[in-house]
Amino acid sequence: MAELRQELEDTNRGLIALHTELENARLAEARLAAIVASSDDAMLSLDPDCRVRTWNPGARHLFGHTEQDITGRPVDILMPHAAGAPFRAAVEQIRSDRRAESYECRWRRADGSEVDVAVTVSAMRDTDGTLIGYCATARDITQQLAARAELAAARADREVMAERDRIARDLHDMIIQRVFGAGLALQSTAARLPQPEADRVHSVIDELDATIRELRTTIFDLHQPTQKAASLRAQVLDETAAARERLGFVPAVEFTGPVDAALPDATAAHLLAALREALSNAARHAQASVVTVTVRADSHLLLEVTDNGRGLDPAVTRSSGLTNLRRRAEKLGGTFDIAGPATGGCRLRWRIPLTAADPGRSTA
């Protein structure tokens, strides 16, 4: 009787242990199911032929297929042609060495669109080590790739700025100094030459002066970070503010019409170069106390610079800088003239047709 009682107690303990083990397994399975169900990642199990067995809510959200629609179908339905090869390679790899394989590619949604994903594929085996299928996890990495691209662009910008700074230093420390030295040598030579040879040398000196101004502008631009171009109005105000150092005051500026309307970059660059040259001319020759800049946009784009200085100097009107202004205007189908108003001083007018500068622009 005692032996029977002991046997019953041992059996009860065994049943309790088995029940506990089963309950723990059930709880572990429930926890795993909860993790799979709540994961934002797409998690799917596949049979040995790579057909979908299970499909979590994260997969439904990422790819748009319901579990009923996708179960039993080949996983290839999620893969554009180019994505099939790395998946098959991962499957072959884990069959041989049993290690999970990860890679990045693009998988296809139910609506035909594609999404960048990081895929991890691992083997599922029974207790005997027999392959019974695969587990695949796909994580949306769209934002990560965008962050990578932004970081790469920032690095590229830094490299570009470093190279621009190097070029600017070379221009300032070497090229400008050489051009300036050549100009001084020519000035010394011109002082010993008769006319008209001296005039020709002075014309070359004017060209060198214009070259130095353009080089300085280029150096300034090289030091500026690349960014979306400012409006023409803002750039005109920047140029006039920069003229204070040469003139001793900031010119007055007047805008009329849709000056900030979209213009081809080349056209805006021509106008700004014309403004720069006109202000430089006023600083060097006018001895003015008032300079007014007018920019008007209608069917034409007009730049007018007036001053109350000493008026026209025939030698100045033939300078290379003003010749360049005329060429810029004519290149765009416009006109350039410089005159001395009855009230004194000087008036420079640079005018181009907007329809010629931008054929798509409405002039209504």
Whose CA is closest to 107, among 96, 118, 115, 119? 115
Domain boundary among 140, 168, 194: 140
Residue pLDDT tens, the chain, 364 long: 677 666 666 666 665 665 566 555 555 555 545 555 557 788 888 999 999 998 898 889 889 998 888 999 999 889 887 778 888 888 888 887 767 778 888 899 999 898 899 998 988 888 888 888 899 999 998 888 888 888 888 888 888 888 888 888 888 888 888 888 888 888 888 888 888 888 888 888 888 887 887 787 778 777 766 554 568 888 899 889 888 888 889 999 998 888 877 567 778 888 888 898 888 888 877 788 899 999 998 888 999 999 988 877 665 555 556 777 888 888 889 999 988 777 778 899 999 998 644 433 433 3
Contact (Cβ atoms closer than 8 angstroms) between residue 355 and residue 364: no
CA 12 to chain centre: 74
Residue 20 lies in a domain: no
**Which pair of tokens denotes residue 107?**
């998988």
Q: Find the CATH number of the domain harbouring 278.
A: 3.30.565.10
pLDDT for 209: 82
Q: Find the CATH number of the domain harbouring 75.
A: 3.30.450.20
Domain boundary among 140, 156, 179: 140
Contact (Cβ atoms closer than 8 angstroms) between residue 171 and residue 163: no
Residue 281 lies in a domain: yes
Domain boundary among 201, 227, 253: 227
Residue type, 240: T
Residue 13, SS3? helix
pLDDT for 284: 78
Range of the domain at 217: 147-227
How far apart, in whole angstroms, are the C-alpha atoms of residue 187 and residue 185?
A: 5
Number of domains in the chain: 3
